[in-house]
């Protein structure tokens, strides 16, 4: 598109320049993948969101809870140096997938949105070449790449789990 600053569409994560700064592009990609994972729960029941379709603890709701944890690790602990306990996140990646009885689609989504706002606030005043010390000294650009890797990785899981859930739903309606 001539003269466009940013081209983004579902399934087409193309971001075109026209002078757009790298930081703006990275923020846009992060927000796109955050939203896509958030949206993977659209139209599902609480039971479907919690369904374990693989031997691990991985569920769609658990994936969103896990990426909320990952946001805390990379954009809070790494930036501020605060402990997991101070941040209020699980003590290990494995535990971050664990769902409690009170976890619902609405509550996990709200936690995710709030954590993303904290992430944005914590990184707002930083340049990509700044070094943060909370996880042993890393450039801010490394945090962005790690978060993009995590989100893309888990978005793939979410796509497959959602497809399985919707196929099972379709199969049930055909057999009734």
What's the token pair of residue 17? Answer: 């320049």
**Residues with Cβ within 8 Å of residue 153, at least 6 apart in sequence:** none
- Which pLDDT value is given to residue 71? 97
Q: Is residue 7 part of a domain?
A: no
The structural domain count of the chain equals 1
Q: Is residue 17 part of a domain?
A: no
* Strand positions, DSSP E, the chain: 131-132, 138-139
Q: Is residue 120 part of a domain?
A: yes
Q: In this structure, what CATH number is given to the domain that contains residue 100?
A: 1.20.120
Nearest one of 6, 23, 7, 38 to 144, comparing CA atoms: 23
Q: Is residue 46 part of a domain?
A: no
Tell me which residues of the chain have a pLDDT lower than 70: 1-20, 172-176
Q: Is residue 2 part of a domain?
A: no
- Which pLDDT value is given to residue 10? 38
- Which pLDDT value is given to residue 27? 94
pTM of the prediction? 0.84
Q: Is residue 48 part of a domain?
A: no
Per-residue pLDDT reduced to its tens digit, 44-60: 999 999 999 999 989 99
CA-CA distance, 151 to 44, in Å (whole number)? 20
22, burial (CB in 10 Å: exposed 0-12, middle 13-18, buried 19+): exposed
CA-CA distance, 137 to 119, in Å (whole number)? 18
- Which pLDDT value is given to residue 17? 53
Q: Is residue 109 part of a domain?
A: yes
- Which pLDDT value is given to residue 171? 77
Instruction: Tell me the residue range of the domain where 121 lies.
Output: 22-39+54-170
Q: Is residue 13 part of a domain?
A: no
- Which pLDDT value is given to residue 170? 82
């Amino acid at each position: 598109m001539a003269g466009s600053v940013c081209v983004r569409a579902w399934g087409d994560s193309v971001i075109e320049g026209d002078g757009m700064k790298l930081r703006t592009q990275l923020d846009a990609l992060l927000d796109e993948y955050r939203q896509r994972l958030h949206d993977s729960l659209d139209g599902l029941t609480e039971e479907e969101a919690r369904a374990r379709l693989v031997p691990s603890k991985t569920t769609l709701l658990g994936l969103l809870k896990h990426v909320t944890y990952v946001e805390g690790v990379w954009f809070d602990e790494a930036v501020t140096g605060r402990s997991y306990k101070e941040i209020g996140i699980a003590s290990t990646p494995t535990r971050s997938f664990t769902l409690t009885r009170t976890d619902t689609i609405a509550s996990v989504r709200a936690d995710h949105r709030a954590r993303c706002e904290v992430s944005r606030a914590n990184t707002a005043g930083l340049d990509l070449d700044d070094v943060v010390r909370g996880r042993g000294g890393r450039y801010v650009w490394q945090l962005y790449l790690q978060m993009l890797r995590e989100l893309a990785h888990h978005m793939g899981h979410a796509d497959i789990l959602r497809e399985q859930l919707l196929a099972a739903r379709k199969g049930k309606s055909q057999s009734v």
